[in-house]
Amino acid sequence: MAVAKVWVERAEVFLFRFSLEKPFRIALGTTTEKTEVIVALHDNHGRVGWGEASPSAVILGCTPDSVLAALDHLIPVLLGEDPRRICHLLNKMDRVLLGNAAAKASLDLALHDLVGQIYGEPVWRLLGGSLAEPVETDFTVGIDSPARMAAEAKALVEAGFRAIKVKVGEDPKADVERVRAVREAIGEKVRMWIDANQGWTRAQAVWALTRMSEYGVEFVEQPVAAEDLEGMAWVRKRSPIPIMADESVHSPSDALRALHLEACDYVNIKLMKAGGLLRAKEIATICKHAGIPNMIGGMVESNLSATAAVHFALSEANVVFRDLDLGERPEAKLVARGGSAIHNGFQVLADPEAPGFGFVEIRKDWLKPVRTYTVGERMRSGE
């Protein structure tokens, strides 16, 4: 039976801006609004694959403008090509432009969504998953006063979450009080994780973690600066709480270095850091063979890329921690129907058998057109 020829015929790029109902504060700064870059890849049979880039200047080294500039180089690589050759296309993009993981993630996601539709299969199955079931997730409490953080954590537990992540990384003494207050509010049975987002020195990290250990903290993410892997290894040897690398590990090569230096017990994978699903799978494979479990996490994103992260979690057994409270706020729900949503502390796919990511309706009226690229035609601006 002959296989129909398929190629990427057109690409559209949009901006999606939204303000957070509540400012989200971490050690690296406070987020009050986000601008996402959304990509739609159209094939010659009328199917559309959707992807998202979530820029972060302080973590990913990119802005919406730099993502758009990167896409000017990357999208022409895909036009006229068979989208089913995902590995080949990502390698071509790497040869055209170094780094720019968020921009590449948007295209990786759109390709996977499109290929799933071509084959009539959900992405989680294309990635090797065997069963689609609800994915338990934590919910993150941003930095605030101990009392307000405790109240927020208690409300989240009452809403069904059985794991709470607490942002720390400012003054170590205040951070200890934050952790104590949250633990008292949520009780002993709820899992508690903490994330310092590079906020401590080596000595501060050991001091704080020694005192936080009595509050049943399961692990701490990124206690010291991302580039200080030797320092993180030093902290790990002295900490009573296991260490998870986050900002220190973006790529497969970063994972190899962190594991070689014995800098961490766990690695947090984020699609925006890794450059999409394919590279995320490579990181997970490296960690699995080193005996290092993974978390799947994310940035401040819409429920479009959150759905992609859920598919990844369903496909990868080495992902044992899920930090998928992404795109849950009303203002971030770009996907109106389909995809994934949180119910009682679990991310649940609307239709686990839907092809691709299972998007039924995208709120296109929320999107600002910026670029259009077509085979055989020069780029057109939507502005």
Residues tagged active-site: 167, 270
DSSP for 45-69 reads: TS-EEEEEE---TTTTS--HHHHHH
